[in-house]
Amino acid sequence: MGDLFGLLGFGADGWGDEIASGAWLTIRLAAATLPFGLAVGFIVGLARNSRSRWVSAPGNLFATVFRALPELLTLFIVYYGGQYLLQWIVSFFSDTYVEVNAFVAGLVALGLVFAAYASEVFLGAFRSIGSGQHEAAAALGLKRFTAMRLVILPQLIRYALPGLANLWLVLLKETSLVSIIALNDLLRQTSVAVGATKEPFFFYLVACLIYLTMSIISTFGLVAVERWSERGMKR
């Protein structure tokens, strides 16, 4: 057992530094994807809530497509399709070979999937807010943007937070998909360690515990955010 734990040491004789760097990349990727996915998801949810078919139809199409496609397929399309598109654009100006950054491709792919599901959460939150709230804001003379910021958004956050919290935990796990495009996340570094040491159970168990730790810490953070969103409300 001591020999196994010795494999987690830092330096030339252990895999601790590689595992730690992979975990750090996983955290950075999830943290960078979250605001992108939330922003796109909110816009799509807002569009889907519109009474105009010209506005709601593209939003519904976006949500349907990215919820229907497997996440891994979306990742491949963004990575290789983005590579082709970028190279095609650059070809008009230069013969330089351009390679898509795997981190950015992973961020965009996971962000689009996250946004598709988040739009459903936001849509449900929008529909949970009564029309009287909009009418009251208009009666007070608030412009639409001001009414959205001061009246609708605070309520929207409370309604959407449970669903978004669940999506964040799903996002943490889905970051493991980027190992397919040679991004050195936690799962890829763990797989490299397994191949070198022939100790699959031990290293995958370590990865499991790291993912579990990240989820537990996230849960505590989400509980704190939920309490903040409900400040001033009677229980």
Name the token pair of 129.
């807010």
Confidence of residue 205 (pLDDT cuts 50, 70, 90): very high
Name the domain count of the chain.
Answer: 1
Question: Which of 9-13, 120-124, 155-159, 230-234 comes out lowest in average pLDDT?
Answer: 230-234
* More confident position, 183 or 57: 57
Average pLDDT over residues 71-85: 91
Average pLDDT over residues 14-40: 93
Domain with 134, as residue range(s), is: 34-183
Query: Would you say residue 208 lies in a domain?
Result: no
Instruction: Give the separation between CA 195 and CA 193, rounded to whole angstroms.
Output: 5
Instruction: Give the separation between CA 14 and CA 54, rounded to whole angstroms.
Output: 58
Query: Would you say residue 188 lies in a domain?
Result: no
Burial letters 173-202, b for 16+ CB under 10 A, else e: ebbbbbbebebbbbbbbbbbbbeeeebeeb
> With contact defined as beta carbons under 8 Å apart, do 141 and 159 qualify?
no
Confidence of residue 217 (pLDDT cuts 50, 70, 90): very high
Query: Would you say residue 169 lies in a domain?
Result: yes
Query: Would you say residue 190 lies in a domain?
Result: no
CATH number at residue 104: 1.10.3720.10
Instruction: Enter the pTM of the model.
Output: 0.89
Burial letters 2-29, b for 16+ CB under 10 A, else e: eeeeebbeeeeeebbebbeebbebbbeb
Q: Convert the pLDDT of each residue in 144-161 to its tens digit.
A: 777 777 777 878 888 899
The per-residue pLDDT for 167 is 95
* CA torsion through residues 100, 104, 106, 109, sign: negative
Query: Would you say residue 136 lies in a domain?
Result: yes
Query: Would you say residue 57 lies in a domain?
Result: yes
Q: Which residues make Cβ contacts (< 8 Å) with residue 149, sequence separation at least 6?
A: none
> With contact defined as beta carbons under 8 Å apart, do 227 and 158 qualify?
no
CB-count exposure of residue 148 (10 Å: 0-12, 13-18, 19+): middle
Query: Would you say residue 21 lies in a domain?
Result: no
3-class SS shares of the chain: helix, strand, coil, % to 5: 80, 0, 20
